[in-house]
Amino acid sequence: MSYDIHIIGGGLAGSEAAWQLGRRGVRLRLSEMRGGGDSTPAHQGAGLAELVCSNSFRSDDDERNAVGLLHHEMRLLDSLVMRAGERARVPAGSAMAVDRDVFSAEVERELAALPSIEIVRERIDALPDAGLTIVATGPLTAASLAANIGVVTGRESLAFFDAIAPIVHRDSIDMAVCWMQSRWNKGDGKDYINCPMDKAQYLAFRQGLLDGEKGEFKEWETNTPYFEGCMPIEVMAERGEDTLRYGPMKPVGLDDPRTGRWPYAVVQLRQDNKLGTLWNMVGFQTKLKHAEQVRLFRTIPGLENAEFARLGGLHRNTFLNSPVLLDPQLRLKSAPHVRFAGQITGCEGYVESAAVGLLTGLMAVGELAGHAWQAPPRTSAMGALLAHITGDAAADSYQPMNVNFGLFPPLPELKKKQRKEAYTERAKADFGEWLAQLERVPA
Ligand SMILES: Cc1cc2nc3c(=O)[nH]c(=O)nc-3n(C[C@H](O)[C@H](O)[C@H](O)COP(=O)(O)OP(=O)(O)OC[C@H]3O[C@@H](n4cnc5c(N)ncnc54)[C@H](O)[C@@H]3O)c2cc1C
């Protein structure tokens, strides 16, 4: 069958993109390597949209939770992942969990039923030179294709590991304890938030890192290139009492305004998004278990009430430096016939990957029909996620990110408790207007 667009990768994002295109009659080829003799280290079978780990799409609360809001927006756009998820749903309280086999079978059944889609079990080893393409090969992209993407984008723009430092909501940091200053007052002079520690606090903190419960590296993760370049903070702590004080917790050139002196050690946070709502803990990538991170990091002076937009981690994960490489429509700036979708763009999670797949599907539909693309509003979950990937995030510390309210334009005048409802209310109103306008454009 000849086709108008080629989708590479039949996971969450590729399947959702295929659905958005295929149900509008666009002819497409969906290439999935599993079932054709290849697999990834995490997938078990050959089904489309296989869930590689948990069976949860997380919270389904669309009034107080950002991922629940994303579910809501995806349902309004007739998402296949949401539709199949509903049919495969199993009880999980306020979360949305699914029977993974039923879910994958439903996705595959719906796509196979669309006459304009050809599903081919094949591995693609290089980006096509021409023809509209969506690359949705995920965090475990086949090595051959990853190498080719590396050549096209420049190797330093493609990561093989995420080394995620925890990210904190700015409004949960106690600025009566912390202060803003760049080391030696360089740059703007006030680029970092600094949390000071005295000797006793530092030693107790280091001990906490040594004693804390850690996650294991899988065998295929330890063999991944570049791992040496992003050492977990607890491994640094093991190397000696002062290693951290000469590394990420170095206090030199930072004058605590309360003492006029350099503290014994310091934890620095750097702005992580243009809105200034999210700040990452510099150099704090870690394999500590999540509960342990929350407990230990809240012992840092000034972070006692810290709310984390995401916790630290290190995983095998292929992703692009999207804020630099992709345009607002997720096209490679240097080869605009190629779009990227899903986790390879640097979103994180099943739902987010599917949402970005959905958006690329809509973008490609518009492009084929010659319509101008109007992005979803910045105040919606989809719009906030897209804006983060395509330019809001800091490019030099870009790491995969779940959707969260820290990505939304802030509503600071409200009390914290009212804010979540206010975010979702604003999002629903703005998204509704965008949708009405989208529906006026014939597919
Ligand atoms: C081990 C692991 C555990 C995870 N656990 C969770 C979790 O519990 N919850 C959560 O929300 N998220 C989790 N994630 C994160 C992520 O959201 C999922 O990986 C998600 O499936 C990403 O969707 P995707 O469509 O981008 O990629 P995938 O779903 O991985 O789909 C990519 C597809 O592309 C295919 N492919 C790769 N290369 C090629 C090629 N060259 N040619 C043809 N096909 C190719 C793959 O076989 C795969 O089917 C996990 C990730 C990993 C790696």
pLDDT for 316 equals: 83
Question: Counting Cβ atoms within 10 Å, is residue 443 exposed (0-12), middle (13-18) or buried (19+)?
Answer: middle
Encode pLDDT of 173-189 as tens digits: 999 999 999 999 987 78
The string of pLDDT tens digits covering residues 399-430 is: 889 999 999 999 878 887 788 999 999 999 99
Transcribe 138-176 into DSSP letters.
-TT--HHHHHHHHHHH-GGGEEEEEEEPPEEEGGGS-TT
Q: Quick one: 260 exposed, middle or buried, by C-beta within 10 A (0-12, 13-18, 19+)? A: exposed
Tell me what pLDDT residue 28 has.
Answer: 98
Residue with the smallest CA separation from ligand 1 atom 17 is: 349
Closest atom, ligand 1, to C-alpha of 50:
29
Q: Is 31 in the pocket of ligand 1 (CB under 6 A)?
A: yes
Nearest CA to ligand 1 atom 31: 11
Residue 241: is its pLDDT beyond 80?
A: yes
SS3 content of the chain, % helix, strand, coil (to 5): 40, 20, 40
CB of 124 within 6 A of ligand 1: the answer is yes
88 with 99: CB under 8 angstroms? Answer: yes
Q: How many CA atoms lie within 13 A of 90 on its CB side?
A: 11
For ligand 1, the distance from its centroid to the CA atom of residue 32, given in whole angstroms, is 12
Tell how far the Cα of 52 is from the centroid of ligand 1, in angstroms: 7
Which atom of ligand 1 lies at the shortest distance from residue 58's CA?
11
Q: What is the Cα–Cα distance from 119 to 174, expressed in whole angstroms? A: 53
53 in ligand 1 pocket by Cβ < 6 Å?
yes
Contact 12/54 with Cβ under 8 angstroms? no
CA of 12 to the centre of ligand 1 (A): 7
Atom from ligand 1 closest to the CA of residue 357: 25
Mean pLDDT of the chain: 93
Determine the pLDDT at residue 224: 62
The residue whose C-alpha atom lies closest to atom 35 belonging to ligand 1 is 9
- Residue 411 DSSP class: -
294: part of which helix (H) or strand (E)? helix 290-297
pLDDT tens string 278-327: 999 999 999 999 999 999 999 999 999 999 999 998 888 899 999 999 99
Paired strand residues for 98: 89
Q: Give yes or no for residue 123 CB within 6 A of ligand 1.
A: yes
Residue from 353, 360, 399 whose mutation best tests the ligand 1 pocket (most atoms within 8 A of CB):
353
CA atoms of 433 and 443, how far apart (whole Å): 18
100 — phi, psi (to 5°)? Answer: -65, -35
pLDDT at 265: 98
pLDDT, mean of residues 249-272: 96
User: What amino acid occupies position 27?
Assistant: R
pLDDT at site 225? 56
* Spatial separation of the C-alpha atoms in residues 329 and 359, rounded to whole Å: 9
Site to probe by mutation for ligand 1, drawn from 7, 12, 351 as the one with most ligand atoms within 8 Å of Cβ, is 12
Within 10 angstroms of residue 111's Cβ, the number of other Cβ atoms is: 24
**H-state helical runs in 298-372:** 322-325, 350-369
Nearest ligand 1 atom, CA 49: 29
Considering all CA atoms of the chain, what is the largest pairwise distance in Å, rounded to the nearest integer?
73
Quote the CA–CA distance of 34 and 172 in Å, as a whole number.
44
User: What is the C-alpha separation between 255 and 300, in angstroms, rounded?
Assistant: 18
C-alpha distances (whole Å) from 46 to each of 52, 67, 120, 203, 262 are: 12, 27, 12, 50, 57
User: Would the CB of 108 count as within 6 Å of ligand 1?
Assistant: no
Task: Give me the phi and psi of 76, to 5 degrees please.
Answer: -65, -25
Structure tokens at 184: 């030696």
Assess whether the C-beta atom of 11 lies below 6 angstroms from ligand 1.
yes
What does the alpha-carbon distance between residue 345 and residue 203 come to, in Å, rounded to a whole number? 39
Q: 18 phi and psi, to 5 degrees?
A: -60, -40
User: Is it the case that residue 228 has pLDDT exceeding 60?
Assistant: no
Question: What backbone phi and psi angles, to 5 degrees, belong to 420?
Answer: -60, -45
Q: Give CA–CA dist 15/142, Å, rounded.
A: 17
Q: What is the pLDDT of residue 413?
A: 80
Read off the pTM.
0.89
Q: From the CB of residue 212, how many other CB atoms can be counted at a distance below 10 Å?
A: 18
151, pLDDT greater than 60: yes
- Is 217 a residue whose pLDDT tops 80? no
Average pLDDT over residues 98-115: 96
Question: Based on C-alpha coordinates, what's the Rg of the chain?
Answer: 22
Look up tokens 């439903």; give the residue: 106
Candidates 339, 278, 349, 347; CA nearest to 319 is 347
Distances (CA, A) of 345 to 92, 103, 119, 135, 244: 29, 24, 23, 10, 32
Of all residues in the chain, the percent with pLDDT exceeding 70 is 97
**Angle, CA 441 vertex, CA 440 and CA 443 arms, to 5°:** 125
* Cα dihedral 374, 379, 381, 384 in deg (nearest 10): 70
DSSP 61: -
Tell me if 141 CB under 6 Å of ligand 1. yes
